Amino acid sequence: MATNRCTAALMRRRTCILLSRLCPNHFTHNSNSNSRLVSSVSKFIDCDSAPQVRPSSRVPGAQGGFLLASLVPRPSFIFLRQYVKLSGSGSSGGGVQCSLPHYYSFSRGFLTRSKKLESIQVEDHGQRAVTTALWCNFLVFSLKFGVWFVSSSHVMLAEVIHSVADFANQALLAYGLSSSKRAPDALHPYGYSKERFVWSLISAVGIFCLGSGATIVHGVQNLWTSQPPENIKYAALVIAGSFVIEGASLLVAIHAVRKGAAAEGMKVKDYVWRGHDPTSVAVMTEDGAAVTGLAIAAASLVAVKVTGNPIYDPIGSIVVGNLLGMVAIFLIQRNRHALIGRAIDDHDMERVLKFLKNDPVVDAIYDCKSEVIGPGFFRFKAEIDFNGVVLVQNYLNRTGRVEWAKQFRQAANEKDDDELLKIMSGYGEEVVTALGSEVDRLEKEIQELVPGIRHVDIEAHNPVIPSPDPQSKGEINDLKMY
């Protein structure tokens, strides 16, 4: 009951503010004359000189309720319909009470919420790269293990550990890709897209601990007790074969990274550092480290063969371990930023804000925020101060101002207030519903402008409470914070 009274009071206040804006010379909140109010509203509705704005012809029509956009917390998306009954006389000033269903004979077929945007299909460029790397690493591990078993080379053992770490990490990435594709549920309404960030981070930690740490420790332990490796010829053959296999996997990963960069309109270098999908980048960097590590292992074995000094073998192991450590730190930092939450790119944010600022129904924009919720998936939120005059004009252009003016004039000639209050209540409900339709239109057009934006939360800003730093029209240059 208390909530209904608060809702009714807020609706009454905003209705009065809107009417006073539309007809400042004919309406005041404390007016005691119903005919004066009807005259002002009907004059605005039937006025030939009223500002003409483009009609919102893109708002789809369907049957349904409406969203009190400024009264219900969005992102809960609670849809409800209030049937408002106004009571009171002209002498007392009247009042607003929310009661249970009180139906009116107004057609509402053209004013409803837009249907939900269909799921956007985004090609997963990292899937093929991960699958290829998984099988290549398994094959390379088998070859390296066999050679280490017969040669007892320290650097070859480092490469075996490297391949084990790579295979385990690719398995983690594959699991992350699979789990991130689960459909949203009540517990995770925005989906599981960030799962791949989590498993990519775990994979990077595995590279740092198992790949880098174990390799460096093994190399350091054998610096003063190293023995010349045996069967170097077999080791050289396996290194050559592994180089070919890892090189093929690296080419697949590079191709995936290029496709991902092209899809996001970025250079490859920028995509490696700031791209939204860490999976293909992780595969590329790991394969690149593998190819480089094989080259280091080959150089170490050649140095041992030429000089006869076995110390080059553990030195090569330490160098490979440091290389893996640098790759791991890079991947950890990259996934950490993704999990903390990053804003969308500046050019996408500016496109959205320019679109909103150029829309006639928008007066000012406040508190814009965005977040990457998955590879290529974003969320956008903004508070908007809507132009009430444009909103009502769009509504009247769709429904017909002449018919509304006729109904208000007829109600003014009635002796009692019932017919007038019924029309005012229906008109107020339709105007609030029109606001919901405008919100739907803006949300849909934002998603069409930047297809990666899956979720758009637009709230009606309360003009009574001032907000700092309004991003009003003409302040595009102040948007660099995004």
Tens digit of each residue's pLDDT (9 = 90 or more) over 222-250: 887 777 776 677 778 888 888 898 899 89
**d(Cα 301, Cα 454) in Å, to the nearest integer?**
53
Would you state the pLDDT for residue 79? 29
Question: Which structural domain range is residue 305 located in?
Answer: 125-340
Q: Residue 427 maps to which CATH number?
A: 3.30.70.1350
Give the β-pairing of 471-472 and 377-386. Answer: unpaired
What is the average per-residue pLDDT within 414-443?
Answer: 84
**Same domain assignment for residues 327 and 411:** no
Amino acid present at 324: L
Closest CA to 129 of 167, 166, 170, 176: 170
**d(Cα 215, Cα 425) in Å, to the nearest integer?**
76
Helix, strand, coil percent content, the chain, rounded in steps of 5 = 60, 10, 30
Q: Residue 230 maps to which CATH number?
A: 1.20.1510.10
Total domains in the chain come to 2
Report H helices in 275-343: 278-307, 312-340
Show which of 317, 340, 363 is a domain's final residue. 340
Would you state the pLDDT for residue 436? 87
Tell me if 85 is assigned to some domain.
Answer: no
Task: Tell me: pLDDT of 480 over 90.
Answer: no
**d(Cα 240, Cα 347) in Å, to the nearest integer?**
45
Looking at the chain, how many residues does it have? Answer: 482
**Same domain assignment for residues 222 and 329:** yes
Would you state the pLDDT for residue 145? 86
Tell me if 296 is assigned to some domain.
Answer: yes
Show which of 287, 322, 340 is a domain's final residue. 340
**Same domain assignment for residues 374 and 270:** no
Tell me if 1 is assigned to some domain.
Answer: no
**Same domain assignment for residues 305 and 367:** no
Would you state the pLDDT for residue 5? 44
* pTM of full prediction above 0.95: no
Average pLDDT of the chain, as a whole number? 71
**d(Cα 289, Cα 79) in Å, to the nearest integer?**
53
**Same domain assignment for residues 291 and 325:** yes
Across 40-54, 132-146, 310-324, 370-384, least confident range: 40-54
**Same domain assignment for residues 355 and 331:** no
SS3 label, residue 66: strand
Show which of 340, 371, 398 is a domain's final residue. 340
What six digits make up the tokens of 279? Answer: 């999976």
